[in-house]
Structures are given as structure tokens and as C-alpha cells.
Amino acid sequence: MQTLVMKFGGTSVGKAEAIRQSADIVLAAKKDWPRVVVVVSAMSGVTDALLKGAHSAAAGDAATFRTIAADLRNKHFAALEALMPPGAQGQARAEVLTYLSEFEALCHAVNVLGEASARALDTISSLGERMSIHLLAAYLQSVGAKSEEVEASDLIITDAHYQSANPMSDLTRTATQARLNPLLDRDVIPVVTGFIGATQDGVITTLGRGGSDYSAAILAVALDADEVWILTDVDGVMTTDPRIVPGAQTLAELTYREISELAYYGAKVLHPKTIRPVIERGIALWVKNTFNPQHPGTQIVKDNGHTHGDIKAVTVIRG
Ligand code: ADP
Ligand code: ASP
Ligand code: MG
């Protein structure tokens, strides 16, 4: 059975209209693919805001994290209100409130201690994805699709290297198949948190900033998926960062090696750890635009022998 893993970045779930567009892409793909797994990032800006709350609390500020919690509640609630009738919002609203009170309690603890450990930072920064899955899944359910939220702490088992944890492949494979296959067999679309995992003891870890791309690759390998689509806010991998050079062009095709180099040397479009697991399994990888779904995007291909000597793209690491 063909399996597709689709990952939507922060902008793709950043507000109601984006969530609707992302859901349309999921529903269209579900017509062609018997098994679809969706991985989502936190809404854009949320991970930064959570970390700002933690760091300001550690520095002695007992007020900023409370303002951040209120802003995050408004951001998530505004999206829910724009997406679905009040009767459909209940569960997602409750989940958002639960996680925001957890955020306040954790920041309070950090404030009392006067320090935020790497472990605490991971628990705090995990909350963005743990909220965003409920928005997309609730919307999919509200339009009649079968969908269920899944926290990747049940799937991706990692070491305790907080802030850039390493997945343990056998444990992850077993846990992922045990949890997701029953859903996929029933035609349910799992909406899974990007970015996070957990140790064998169940302590939350994160895979590093921008790590939701990596989550998609890890799950694709664990499920023996056929394709991974990274859905973002540009038409694919471009000749350079279009935020710096507006005339940048989309590349139709890049090899694994080329995209690895670009990612490693700072092109934010793909997390550098994403590529290796998918090449090793021969899983097809695409980078596509949520906001321009007609555009084919960029396909990442095996070395095709045509690349030597060509300069495809330019990237920069600031500072
Ligand atoms: P997401 O939240 O979807 O993961 P990111 O912001 O992490 O999105 O990555 C997409 C951004 O990467 C684009 O908006 C673009 O500014 C930046 N970028 C940097 N280099 C490139 C490149 N070579 N091609 C495309 N996008 C790039
Ligand atoms: N939300 C996380 C971050 O901002 C992971 C991701 O977006 O890929 O780093
Ligand atoms: Mg990203």
C-alpha cells in the first residue's frame, strides 16, 4: 500500500486560511494515496515565543511568559474560530488551554529556579506542535475527514541529547508502526507533531530548530513510506533564499548531495538531517509550496551524473 508523508511548516499552519489550504492539499492527496501521514510544525512564531517565555522567566521576569501565554491563546483561538463553528472547537480549545497552563506552570518553575535546563527548554518548546496538531486535525474532522492527532513522543524514541536528540531507529520503527498502522488501516489521517520525540522513559526531547522536516523523514523510514513532501511557503528549493534575492528561481530537480550541501550550509528550506534517512531507503523527496499547489516544486533525486561543474544555488550562513 502506497504511503505518503506530508510535512507542513509553520507558515502553512500559521493562520486559519493557511490551515484551510494545507487541509485541501491533504484531502487532495488522500484521493491518490491510500495511506497519508501528516506532520505539522507549530504555528509560525510560536516556538520562538515559547522559548522567549522560558528565557525571560529564567532571567527573573515573572510577567512576560504570562503575556505570551495570553497571546498564544488568542492566536490559536482566532484560527479555530475562523475555521469551524463553535460546536466543533471544544476539544481543540481544551487542548490549547491545557498546554498553555502547562507552559505557565513550567515557566513559573523556571522563574523560581532562576535557570532553564536543556530538558526544561525541550518540554517548553514542544508545546507549539502539541497545540497545532489539534487545529489541523479538528479542521479535517469538521469537513468530514477521518483524522486523529498523534504526539510524536509516542512514535520517535530518542536519546537524551536535549535540543538535538537522536532517534533510535529500531525502537522508533516498532513504536511508529504499532501506533500508526492501525489508524492507517482504518483510513484515518494521523496528524503528528513535528520537532519532538521522547526518551525511552517518556521525557520529551526535540530534534533541533527546524526539526519537523527531520520528523517527517524519520516517520517515512519507520513506515517504509514511498514519498515525503515538504510543504513550505516557497515554490521549492531555489537558486538562493528568495527573502534575500527576490529574483531567485525554483530548481526543478536537485540531487540528494546538492540539497544536503545547501541545507548544511544554511539554506533553511530543509533541515540538514532530513536527507540521509530518505536517501538510504530510496524514498522520493519533494519540496512544494502550500500556497501554490499547482507548482510541481523541487524533486530531490539520486545523483544523475549531469551535475558536475554546474553551480545550482548559492547559500549563506550569517555571522
Ligand atoms: P517551514 O516553516 O515551512 O519549515 P522555513 O522558514 O523553515 O519554512 O523554510 C522556508 C524558507 O527557507 C523560505 O521562506 C526561504 O526564505 C528560506 N530559504 C533559504 N534558502 C532557500 C532556498 N535555497 N530555496 C528556498 N527557500 C530558501
Ligand atoms: N517549530 C519548530 C521550530 O520552530 C520546528 C519546525 O518548525 O520545524 O524550530
Ligand atoms: Mg523549516
Long-range Cβ contact pairs of 252-255 (< 8 A, separation 24 or more): 252/296, 252/298, 252/299, 253/298, 253/299, 253/300, 253/301, 253/304, 254/298, 254/299, 254/300, 254/301, 254/312, 254/313, 255/300, 255/301, 255/302, 255/303, 255/304, 255/307
pLDDT in tens, 220-231: 999 999 999 999
Q: Which ligand is nearest to the CA of 12?
A: 1
Ligand 3 centre and the CA of 113: distance in Å?
32
pLDDT in tens, 9-47: 999 999 999 999 999 999 999 999 999 999 999 999 999
220 by DSSP, 3-state: which?
A: helix
d(CA 157, CA 270) in angstroms, rounded, equals 22
If you average pLDDT over residues 160-189, what whole number do you get?
98
DSSP lists the bridge partners of residue 6 as 38, 229
**Atom of ligand 2 at shortest distance to CA of 215?**
8
Q: Hey, what's the cell of 208?
A: 533541533
Ligand 2 and 47: CB distance under 6 A: yes
If you average pLDDT over residues 175-184, what whole number do you get?
98
Q: Beta strand pairing status for 3-8 and 189-193?
A: unpaired
For residue 303, give every residue at least 6 positions away whose Cβ sits within 8 Å of its Cβ, in sequence order, or none: 255, 256, 257
pTM of the predicted protein model: 0.97
Which phi and psi (to 5°) does residue 80 adopt? -60, -45
pLDDT in tens, 195-205: 999 999 999 99
Please tell me the predicted confidence (pLDDT) of residue 134.
98
Ligand 2 centre and the CA of 87: distance in Å?
30
**Atom of ligand 1 at shortest distance to CA of 233?**
14
Residue 279 has pLDDT above 90, yes or no: no
Share of the chain above pLDDT 90, in %: 93
Ligand 1 centre and the CA of 234: distance in Å?
7
Ligand 1 and 241: CB distance under 6 A: yes
Please tell me the predicted confidence (pLDDT) of residue 307.
58
284 by DSSP, 3-state: which?
A: strand
d(CA 242, CA 276) in angstroms, rounded, equals 25
Ligand 1 centre and the CA of 7: distance in Å?
14
DSSP lists the bridge partners of residue 285 as 228, 300
Residue 7 has pLDDT above 90, yes or no: yes
Do residues 41 and 132 touch, judged by C-beta distance below 8 A? Answer: yes
Please tell me the predicted confidence (pLDDT) of residue 53.
98
Q: Nearest-CA neighbor of 154 among 204, 221, 211?
A: 204
| DSSP letter, residue 254 | E
**Atom of ligand 1 at shortest distance to CA of 11?**
2
